[in-house]
C-alpha cells in the first residue's frame, strides 16, 4: 500500500510486544527525536554525506525503516520508496516529501514487501537492522526486489560504542533509545552470507561525532579512515550484492590492445588469440609510435579480415589511459578486456577472465602477476618490491585485496564501464596509466572486484616503457589522490 497524504493511516497490528513497544516509543517521541537530530546535526550530516558517496543521485532506492524519509530524500532518487511500521511517522513522511512513495508495514512481513514494485538499484537499511527479530530471514525477503546489479547498504553503530552511547543518554547528550541489538560486524557478515548476500566492502566512519570548533570534521575526514584507527569508529557501512551465478549466460567480448612501438608483437597478438564468448572483436589503439606499429596494425587487420573482426584506431592524446578510453568508447562487445601489446600476459589466459564475468562471480577482474613464478627477467626486483608495497596501500584504499594493481589486464562489463565513465567527473582526468581510472571507478561503483592469477612472461620484442622512478612518484601521487577521493570524503 503506497500512502499519499490524503490516505488514512491506521496503526498496524504487529505480531510481537517488542515491535509494539518500538512503535509506541518512536510515535510518542517523534518531535523530540527531530529536535535531537538538530542537536546532533554534525553526526547526521556526515552520515548523509557518506551515504550520498555510496549512492549516486538518480537511482532507484528502497529504504527499509525510513522514519520520516530524511535520508531517502537526501539521496535524490529517481524513484524512492520508504517502508516503516509507524502510522504517524509515515503520515509525516508523506507530508514532508510528497514526491516519494511510502509504505506502512512491517519490513519483516512478506506481505509488506510483496506490495513494492522492484527491482531497485540500492536497498538501504540504516540504523534499523538492530531492531529486526530475524535478520537473515528478513534479508532473504528482499531478493525478489533485487537485480544482479542491486546493492544493499547496511549502516549501524559499532558494538564497541554501546557503553559510550548509553552514557550519552544518561548525560542527556543523546535521545533516549529503545533496546536494540548491537551486533558485531563479523556477525553481520555471517548473517548476510546466510541470506545469500555477498559483502563487497565495509567502511568505518566518525571517530568524533561532534563539531568541536572544526576539530571533529577534520579528525573524521583525515584521521578516522586510517588503518587500525578506523576500527574504533562509531559508524560501520556494509555494501553487499545478491549472490547469483549464471552458468549458461553468453557474452560477446571486445579485446582492446593499446600499442606503442610494438610492431613485432601485433601479428602474434592475433595469431595467439583464443576463441571464446558468443563473438569477439579486437581493437588496436596505436599511440603515435616511432616505428611502423600503425602500419603493421593495418596490415594485420587486412590479412585476418576473413577470420577476425579487427578495428585499428589512432590515439588523439598520450598515455595508455587515453588509449583505453578511446578503445572502450569504440567497443561494441558485452565484456571489455585489455591486453597489453607486449604479450607478457599471455592472450591464451583471456578466456578465464571472460568466464569470471560471464558466470557472475565478479564484475571487475584484475590480473595479478605475483602469484605464480615469473619467467626470468620478466620483472626487475625493485619493480617487484614496489608492486607489493603499492598493492597493500591500494587494497586498503579500495577495500578489496589487490596484489598487482599495475597488471595491464582488466576486464569488466561494458554497461558497468559506461556507468563508470558517466561519473568520471568525480575523479577527473587524473590517470595516465589507465589502471587506476578503472580500479577507483569500480570501487566507487561498488563493483565486485576479484583478481585472477596469470603466468607472467618475459618480453620477446621491444623494451619496457616503464620508468621505475618517474612512475613510482606518480604512484605515490595516486595513493594520496585515492585517499582524498575514496577515504577522506
- Per-residue pLDDT of 69-93, as tens digits, reads 999 999 999 999 999 999 999 999 9
Pairwise pLDDT comparison (425 vs 180), residue with the higher score: 425
CA angle centred on 97, ends 95 and 98, rounded to 5°:
75
Band the pLDDT of 377: cuts 50, 70, 90: low
Burial 276-303 (b: 16+ CB within 10 A, else e): bbeebbbbbbbbebeeebbebbbebbee
Look at residue 376 in the predicted model and tell me its pLDDT.
59
In whole angstroms, give the CA distance from residue 123 to residue 474: 37
> What is the DSSP track for 402-423?
-S-TT-S-EEEEHHHHHHHHHT
Look at residue 375 in the predicted model and tell me its pLDDT.
60
Q: Tell me what percent of the residues of the chain surpass a pLDDT of 70.
A: 93
Look at residue 240 in the predicted model and tell me its pLDDT.
96
Q: Which residue has the cell 497524504?
A: 5
Question: Average pLDDT in the 343-353 region?
Answer: 93
Question: Average pLDDT in the 30-34 region?
Answer: 77
Q: Are 302 and 376 in contact (CB under 8 A)?
A: no
60-64 and 120-126 strand pairing: parallel
Q: Reply yes or no on whether the pLDDT at 5 is more than 50.
A: no
In whole angstroms, give the CA distance from residue 489 to residue 487: 5
Classified as helix, coil or strand, 86 is: coil
Band the pLDDT of 169: cuts 50, 70, 90: confident
In whole angstroms, give the CA distance from residue 330 to residue 326: 6
Greatest Cα-to-Cα distance within the chain, rounded to the nearest angstrom:
80
Q: Reply yes or no on whether the pLDDT at 458 is more than 70.
A: no
Look at residue 2 in the predicted model and tell me its pLDDT.
54
In whole angstroms, give the CA distance from residue 381 to residue 270: 31
Written as nine digits, the cell of 72 is 531517502
Question: Average pLDDT in the 294-321 region?
Answer: 94
Q: In sequence order, what E strands does 330-474 have?
A: 335-338, 364-368, 410-413, 449-453
Q: Reply yes or no on whether the pLDDT at 101 is more than 80.
A: yes
Look at residue 271 in the predicted model and tell me its pLDDT.
96
Residues 6+ apart with CB under 8 A from 187: none
Question: Among 109-118, 126-135, 367-376, which stretch is predicted with the lowest mean pLDDT?
Answer: 367-376
Look at residue 78 in the predicted model and tell me its pLDDT.
96
Question: Average pLDDT in the 54-73 region?
Answer: 95
Q: Reply yes or no on whether the pLDDT at 431 is more than 50.
A: yes
What 8-state DSSP symbol labels residue 429? S
Look at residue 8 in the predicted model and tell me its pLDDT.
47
Question: Among 119-133, 291-305, 315-329, 395-409, which stretch is predicted with the lowest mean pLDDT?
Answer: 395-409
Question: Average pLDDT in the 125-154 region?
Answer: 93
Question: Among 341-355, 403-417, 418-432, 464-478, which stretch is predicted with the lowest mean pLDDT?
Answer: 464-478
Band the pLDDT of 374: cuts 50, 70, 90: low
Query: Within 13 Å, how many C-alpha atoms sit on residue 482's CB side?
Result: 26
Band the pLDDT of 121: cuts 50, 70, 90: very high
In whole angstroms, give the CA distance from residue 296 to residue 318: 20
- Per-residue pLDDT of 390-403, as tens digits, reads 888 888 999 888 88
Band the pLDDT of 462: cuts 50, 70, 90: low
Look at residue 461 in the predicted model and tell me its pLDDT.
54
In whole angstroms, give the CA distance from residue 118 to residue 144: 8
Question: Among 100-104, 308-312, 429-433, which stretch is predicted with the lowest mean pLDDT?
Answer: 429-433
Q: In sequence order, what E strands does 10-78 have?
A: 60-64
Q: Reply yes or no on whether the pLDDT at 425 is more than 50.
A: yes
Average pLDDT, the chain: 88
Look at residue 465 in the predicted model and tell me its pLDDT.
53
Question: Average pLDDT in the 1-27 region?
Answer: 71
Q: Reply yes or no on whether the pLDDT at 380 is more than 90.
A: no
Q: Reply yes or no on whether the pLDDT at 6 is more than 90.
A: no
Question: Average pLDDT in the 286-299 region?
Answer: 94
Residue of 418, 424, 417, 423 whose CA lies nearest to 363: 417
Q: Reply yes or no on whether the pLDDT at 171 is more than 90.
A: no
In whole angstroms, give the CA distance from residue 451 to residue 336: 16
Pairwise pLDDT comparison (435 vs 230), residue with the higher score: 230
Question: Among 50-64, 153-167, 241-255, 467-481, which stretch is predicted with the lowest mean pLDDT?
Answer: 467-481
Look at residue 1 in the predicted model and tell me its pLDDT.
47
Amino acid at each position: 500500500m503506497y500512502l499519499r497524504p490524503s490516505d488514512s493511516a491506521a496503526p498496524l497490528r504487529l505480531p510481537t510486544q517488542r515491535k509494539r513497544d518500538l512503535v509506541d516509543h518512536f510515535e510518542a517521541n517523534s518531535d523530540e527525536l527531530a529536535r535531537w537530530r538538530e542537536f546532533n546535526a554534525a553526526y547526521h550530516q556526515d552520515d548523509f554525506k557518506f551515504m550520498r558517496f555510496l549512492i549516486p543521485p538518480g537511482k532507484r532506492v528502497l529504504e527499509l525503516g525510513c522514519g520520516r524519509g530524511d535520508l531517502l530524500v537526501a539521496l535524490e532518487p529517481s524513484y524512492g520508496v520508504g517502508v516503516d511500521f509507524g502510522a504517524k511517522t509515515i503520515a509525516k513522511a508523506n507530508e514532508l516529501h510528497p514526491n516519494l512513495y511510502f509504505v506502512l508495514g512491517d519490513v519483516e512481513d512478506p506481505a509488506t514487501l510483496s506490495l513494492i514494485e522492484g527491482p531497485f538499484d540500492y536497498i538501504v537499511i540504516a540504523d534499523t537492522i538492530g531492531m529486526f527479530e530475524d535478520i537473515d530471514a528478513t534479508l532473504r525477503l528482499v531478493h525478489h526486489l533485487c537485480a544482479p546489479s542491486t546493492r544493499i547498504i547496511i549502516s549501524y553503530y559499532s558494538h564497541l560504542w554501546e557503553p559510550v552511547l548509553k552514557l550519552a543518554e544518561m548525560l542527556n547528550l543523546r535521545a533516549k533509545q529503545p533496546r536494540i541489538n548491537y551486533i558485531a560486524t563479523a556477525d553481520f557478515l555471517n548473517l548476510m552470507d546466510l541470506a545469500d548476500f555477498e559483502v563487497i566492502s565495509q567502511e568505518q566512519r566518525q571517530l568524533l561525532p561532534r563539531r568541536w570548533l572544526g576539530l571533529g570534521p577534520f579528525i573524521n575526514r583525515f584521521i578516522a579512515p586510517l588503518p587500525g584507527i578506523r576500527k574504533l569508529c562509531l559508524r560501520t557501512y556494509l555494501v553487499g550484492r545478491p549472490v547469483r551465478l549464471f552458468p549458461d549466460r553468453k557474452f560477446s567480448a571486445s579485446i582492446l590492445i593499446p600499442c606503442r612501438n610494438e610492431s613485432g608483437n601485433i601479428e602474434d597478438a592475433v595469431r595467439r588469440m583464443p576463441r571464446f564468448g558468443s563473438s569477439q572483436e579486437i581493437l588496436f589503439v596505436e599511440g603515435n609510435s616511432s616505428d611502423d606499429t600503425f602500419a603493421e596494425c593495418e596490415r594485420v587487420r587486412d590479412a585476418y579480415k576473413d577470420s577476425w573482426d579487427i578495428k585499428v584506431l589512432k590515439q588523439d592524446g598520450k598515455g595508455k589511459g587515453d588509449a583505453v578510453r578511446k578503445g572502450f568508447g569504440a567497443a561494441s562487445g558485452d565484456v571489455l578486456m585489455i591486453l597489453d601489446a607486449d604479450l607478457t600476459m599471455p592472450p591464451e589466459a583471456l578466456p578465464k577472465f571472460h568466464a569470471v564475468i560471464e558466470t557472475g562471480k565478479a564484475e571487475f577482474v584484475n590480473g595479478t602477476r605475483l602469484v605464480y613464478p615469473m619467467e626470468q627477467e620478466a620483472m626487475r626486483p625493485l619493480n617487484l618490491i614496489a608492486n607489493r608495497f603499492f598493492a597493500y596501500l591500494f587494497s586498503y584504499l579500495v577495500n578489496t585485496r589487490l596484489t598487482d594493481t599495475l597488471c595491464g589486464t582488466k576486464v569488466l562489463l561494458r554497461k558497468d564501464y559506461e556507468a563508470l565513465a558517466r561519473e568520471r567527473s568525480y575523479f577527473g582526468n587524473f590517470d595516465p596509466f589507465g589502471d587506476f581510472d578503472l580500479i577507483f571507478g569500480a570501487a566507487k561503483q561498488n563493483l565486485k572486484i576479484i583478481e585472477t592469477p596469470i603466468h607472467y612472461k618475459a618480453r620477446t620484442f621491444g623494451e619496457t616503457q616503464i620508468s621505475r622512478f618517474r612512475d613510482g612518484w606518480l604512484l605515490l601521487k595516486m595513493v594520496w589522490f585515492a585517499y582524498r577521493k575514496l577515504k577522506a570524503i
